[in-house]
A = this chain, B = another copy of it.
């Protein structure tokens, strides 16, 4: 397996989509308790999956790339980064992205273990929050990072003006 960036091993796979609005369940309905949701308006949805061997040191570069790459469409139809749009960010843990076809099923043997994955995911979220909080345009506009609960079912509703789906590997 070769990463899109040319290195020989993939540590993380990310799919990015653009949205006008997105809603994600962060806690399923429970006895005497309704489901809990987070939502964002215009911005970027980041589906993320970590592979075995991924370590904390990939997170800063990964987040820096995702926050600064020009995938977001401005009102004038040009492309800019989510930090410069300024846009919101919704992070969705998505272990299925690590799947490899085997016969008629999918195998996930390359995925990172649950505990390590949870740590990397938490670090990824906190680095995204930090980048947004340091970006003047984002803090002025009040754009936010929201994120799903690692290991949960990611009940997602997405409204786009074109998802502009991109794949990135790190």
Contacts and interface: CB of A to CB of B under 8 A. Distances in A.
A168 B101 CA distance: 8
A68 B100 CA distance: 15
A69 B163 contact: no
Given A65-B101, A69-B101, A101-B5, A155 B162 contact: yes
Contacts of A65: 101
A111 to B, nearest CB: 13
A162 B158 contact: no
Contacts of A164: 96
A159 interface: yes
Copies in the complex: 2
A105 interface: yes
Interface residues of A, number: 40
B162 A156 contact: yes
Contacts of A94: 163, 165
B105 A79 contact: yes
Interface of A: 1-2, 4-5, 13, 15, 47, 65, 68-71, 79, 81, 92, 94, 96-97, 99-101, 104-106, 153-168
Nearest to A81: B104
Contacts of A167: 13, 15, 97, 99, 167
B163 A99 contact: no
